[in-house]
């Protein structure tokens, strides 16, 4: 792969990951917070704890997306993304392990996302900043 193509792929990865994080955060806090509340309620998490969980998770997602776009300390950002995905995966698995078998893959989609994060982490030193 040429350096120019690698840079294009890297930038596309940054933009696509940022989109996923920001859109997920907006969905969680604005477009459809009831989905998060329903999932949490199935684990008997309601009230202030559910409010905190839905909105803190949404804000964290938006912050991760904006952080990616900032090009600041991308390797640390990648590490935080992996930790966040791991935490979300564990929480969702504990609440309802059937999410692993869901036809839309709310958990299984994490695997290719982790690969993309790994690509960005590994190639961060070789790419010119935006």
Residue among 64, 66, 72 nearest 130 (CA): 72
Assigned domain for 38 exists? yes
Range of the domain at 13: 3-124
Residue among 78, 95, 84 nearest 58 (CA): 84
Split into its structural domains, the chain has a count of 1
Assigned domain for 18 exists? yes
Assigned domain for 7 exists? yes
Q: Rounded distance, CA 45 to CA 63, Å?
A: 24
Assigned domain for 35 exists? yes
Assigned domain for 130 exists? no
Assigned domain for 97 exists? yes
The stretch 112-120 carries a mean pLDDT of 97
Burial class (CB in 10 A: 0-12, 13-18, 19+), 58: buried
- pLDDT at position 40 is 97
Cβ atoms 84, 63 nearer than 8 A: no
Assigned domain for 129 exists? no
The stretch 27-52 carries a mean pLDDT of 97
% residues pLDDT > 70 (the chain): 96
Assigned domain for 60 exists? yes
For the chain, give the mean pLDDT. Answer: 95
40-85: pLDDT as tens digits:
999 999 999 999 999 999 999 999 999 999 999 999 999 999 999 9
| Statement: the pTM of the whole predicted model exceeds 0.75 | yes
């Amino acid at each position: 792969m040429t350096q120019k193509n690698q840079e294009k792929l890297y930038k596309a990865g940054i933009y696509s990951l940022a989109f996923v994080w920001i859109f997920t955060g907006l969905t969680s806090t604005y477009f459809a917070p009831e989905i998060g509340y329903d999932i949490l309620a199935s684990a008997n998490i309601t009230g202030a704890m559910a409010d905190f969980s839905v909105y803190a998770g949404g804000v964290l997602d938006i912050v991760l997306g904006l952080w990616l776009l900032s090009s600041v300390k991308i390797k640390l950002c990648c590490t935080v993304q992996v930790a966040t995905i791991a935490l979300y995966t564990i929480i969702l698995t504990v609440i309802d392990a059937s999410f692993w078998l869901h036809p839309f893959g709310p958990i299984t989609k994490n695997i290719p996302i982790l690969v993309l994060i790994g690509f960005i982490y590994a190639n961060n030193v070789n790419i010119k900043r935006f």
